[in-house]
Amino acid sequence: MTLETVSEVKSHGGVQGVYRHASAATTTDMVFSLFLPPQPERGEPVPLLWYLSGLTCTHANVTEKGEFREACARAGIAFIAPDTSPRGPDVPDDPEGLWDFGQGAGFYLDATQQPWATHFNMRRYILDELPALVAQHFPADMTRQSITGHSMGGHGALTLALSSPGRFRSVSAFAPIVAPRQVPWGRKALRHYLGEGDAVWRAHDTVALIEDGARVDELLVDIGEADPFLEKELRPELLEDACADAGIPLTLRRQAGYDHSYYFISTFMADHVGWHAERLNR
């Protein structure tokens, strides 16, 4: 698979790169960023931490604002940030021109309804196509992968980990949408991408997956108590209840005064990188 280098710069002894490639899953060009710590210069493959971004974001938001590189360089972990959806003039978008659906809002699933099904195959892209590309071009140890994400990307991290047992050694999230079947952002996306039907929606809902028997070893979740989306869209109490009923160890940290922004994410990013590093390097 051909890979185009958009940019590469040295940072914290490693290399922060941005790359473009033609995607078979989305039938568009896709862009992602990847930070390689200094260790690969000595020929050592390194574990890989996936970061899935939220609504409206591209790879650039966390790459420029996430403040992950120092922690990743210290831990010897590569950090990859894909885009949140296919993009381009031929890719359909929200018919109402809103920001919470369409381009920038792929919800990390494979759409089955037209016009979305042609391009919006983000689950296949994240789980199959992009890992194969990374394995081909970078010194990443694909037997040691973990995943995290923010908001819609937190939803993606949790649902992909729960529905892909053994794929990720650890999973965490910042302000995740934990029950999309029960909140406006999620219901809009699930209806358009997948059609009507609770049975289909449950496969892309963290709380429902846990209720239906999916398991991970443990979870780390941070939320901001001043997050304006907390009560209407995020509903962390539903995740608490589901994990308690299922016996999944959940560390849910409510951070006083923090909102939904990258000021919040960057403050606790090093904690998450360190938490994943412990599990990736066991």
- DSSP string covering the chain, please? ---EEEEEEEETTEEEEEEEEE-TTTSSEEEEEEEE-SGGGGT--EEEEEEE--TT--HHHHHHHS--HHHHHHHT-EEEEE-SS--STTS---TT--SSSBTTB-TTSB--STTTTTT-BHHHIIIIIHHHHHHHHS-EEEEEEEEEEBTHHHHHHHHHHHHSTTS-S-BEEES----GGGSHHHHHHHHHHH-S-HHHHHTT-HHHHHHTT---S-EEEEEETT-TTIIIII-HHHHHHHHHHHT--EEEEEETT--SSHHHHHHHHHHHHHHHHHHHT-
**Whether 150 is catalytic:** no
**Catalytic pick from 151, 222, 272, 276?**
151
**Whether 260 is catalytic:** yes
**Whether 217 is catalytic:** no
**Catalytic pick from 204, 227, 272, 276?**
227
**Catalytic pick from 155, 192, 260, 276?**
260
What are the catalytic residues? 151, 227, 260
